[in-house]
Every structure is written in structure tokens, then in C-alpha cells.
Amino acid sequence: MSHPASPASAALIAALRHAHNDTAAECNLKQRVQSRLSVSLLGLTPTLSAALPATHVPAGALSKAWFAAKGLVATKSVVLAWLAPVVAVGVLTGVAVDRVHVRSVAPHTSAMARNDTYPSASVNPQPEPVSAPAIAPESLEDIFEKPSAATVSAGTMDSTNSLAAERRLLDEARQSLARSEPQSGLAPLNRHAKRFPTGVLTEEREALAVRLLAALGNQPAAAARAESFHRRFPDSLFTPVVNNAVATFSKQNAQSESKP
């Protein structure tokens, strides 16, 4: 240090430079952050992630899959293979699990990795009929309207700001989906689209929008939204989730149509 520091100041600077983290506290914090990142990045619902045994996460399948996914973005097929359990869980929570009220999710992450723990939910879904949404397509258009040019530029300037606010809005929407109340998820997504048209969590918002629209039974809107999602985010980790939301809906329709 080139400037003269008094012994008092030098002692305190030394204390800061040599400070180290409490191992247990750092480990706990790290696990919580990791678990939340898997929610943010993979679209797991808070309901489900809250059910995860947070204290045992690092060795678990979830975190392994997650880290593998993050580290291997270059090789998509490997990512998807690694992600299979996580995506399955995401799909479950988004499309079927919450609706059939499977609330007590597997107590161990290792159990979560086994798709067969949840018979029929993702492979051969038998969900309850979706209640018809009391929302007209026009209002849905309005809800998911494209941001205006003015808000886009404001949003771009603001894009690194307020991530916490973005996250909260999307969490709100996710929770609605998890409670099987997709209607109430639209408002927070709409607010997010208006306030953060090009926000950091845009990709998550769009994926959630598809899931919400599918859950509301608005198949044309969900399909159109999914298509624009794929165009915009061709390599998204949410691709399987989005596809499954649309596919599950189509299957439901096919089933209900085939009934006499």
C-alpha cells in the first residue's frame, strides 16, 4: 500500500483482507442460493423447491443435474439427458402435479430423480379436465400484449436493474400456477411484461406465459406463444417444459373429444 495508513486503519484493513467465511454459514447460504437458482433457471415452482430437503441438496440428483446443465450449455443433448429428472419435475409441477394435488413430494432428491415415482404424470398424463377460463381471447391478448417501442427502450436501459422485483413478479405467477389458479398468474406476468419488457427474466416469463395459457385451456394462444418462444429462445432450457405444456393440452383435448 503506497499511502500512509495509521496503525488503527491498517489493522482494520488487515482484518477485512484476512476475514474468512464461516464454513457452515457459507455452506448453508450456498445451498439456499443454489436451490433458488434452480427455480429461476429451470422454472421449478417454489412449492416444489420448498419441499426439497435443502440441507441435503449438494449431493442430490437435483443439484447434480442443475450444475451439469449449467456447465454443459454447449451440448444440448447432454444437458437434456442430465436435466431429465429436473425437467420431469418441472413439467409435473407445471402441468399435472399441482392439479392432482400431489403436494407431499418425495422426501429425498434421489427419489425425485426417478420418474416412476410419479406414475403417469409426465409419460401418460391423466389430468383432471381443465376448467374453462372465464377470460376472452381478447383480454388474453391484452394481458400478453407486445410491449411498445417506448417501454422497450426504457426497459433496455433498465435491464440490469430491479432483478429482485422481476423475480418477485414471476414467483407470484409461478405460485398461482402451483395453486392451480392460473388466472391470478396473468396479472403479475402482465406487470412484468410492462415494467421489464426486455428484463433479465424475459425467457422465464415467456415460458411461464405458455404454461399459464395452457393451464387456462387457451390452446391457440398457448401454441402461438410457444412458437414465438421457440423462435426467440431456440436453445432455451425451458424448451421441454414449454413443449410439454402444449403437448399435454393437446392430449387432453384429444381424450375429451374421443369420449362419446
Partner 1 sequence: MQSSEAIAPTVTAEPPEFRDLFETEFGYVARTLRYLGVRGNDIEDVTHDVFLHVFRHLAAFDASRPLRPWLFGFVYRIARDFRALARHQRESSWELTESRDLSPAADELLVRTEALTLALQALDSLDSDERAVFVAHELEELPMPEVVEALGIALNTAYSRLRRARAKFESAAQRLMAKEKYR
* Interface contacts to partner 1, rule CB under 8 A: 1, 3, 5-6, 8-9, 11-17, 19-22, 25-26, 28-30, 32-34, 36-37, 40-41, 67-68, 70-73, 152, 156, 159-165, 167-168, 172, 198, 200, 202, 231-233
- Minimum CB separation of residue 7 from partner 1 in Å reads 9
Cell numbers placing 251: 392430449
Q: Please give the single-letter amino acid code of residue 205.
A: R
Q: Which is nearer to partner 1, 13 or 136 (CB)?
A: 13
Q: Which is nearer to partner 1, 96 or 177 (CB)?
A: 177
- Minimum CB separation of residue 116 from partner 1 in Å reads 27
- Minimum CB separation of residue 174 from partner 1 in Å reads 13
Q: Which is nearer to partner 1, 63 or 248 (CB)?
A: 63
Q: Which is nearer to partner 1, 17 or 259 (CB)?
A: 17
Q: Which is nearer to partner 1, 73 or 123 (CB)?
A: 73
Nearest Cα to Cα of residue 213 among 115, 129, 104, 94: 94
Q: Which is nearer to partner 1, 109 or 122 (CB)?
A: 109
- Minimum CB separation of residue 98 from partner 1 in Å reads 20
Query: CA distances (Å), 18 to each of 11, 90, 228, in order?
Result: 11, 42, 51
- Own/partner contacts of 212-215, CB < 8 Å, gap of 24 or more, are 212/173, 212/176, 212/177, 212/182, 212/185, 212/186, 213/140, 213/144, 214/95, 214/245, 214/246, 214/248, 214/249, 215/94, 215/95, 215/99, 215/130, 215/177, 215/180, 215/182, 215/245
Nearest Cα to Cα of residue 245 among 176, 217, 233: 217
Rounded to whole angstroms, the Cα distance separating 253 from 90 reads 22
Rounded to whole angstroms, the Cα distance separating 258 from 27 reads 53
- Minimum CB separation of residue 73 from partner 1 in Å reads 8
- Minimum CB separation of residue 102 from partner 1 in Å reads 25
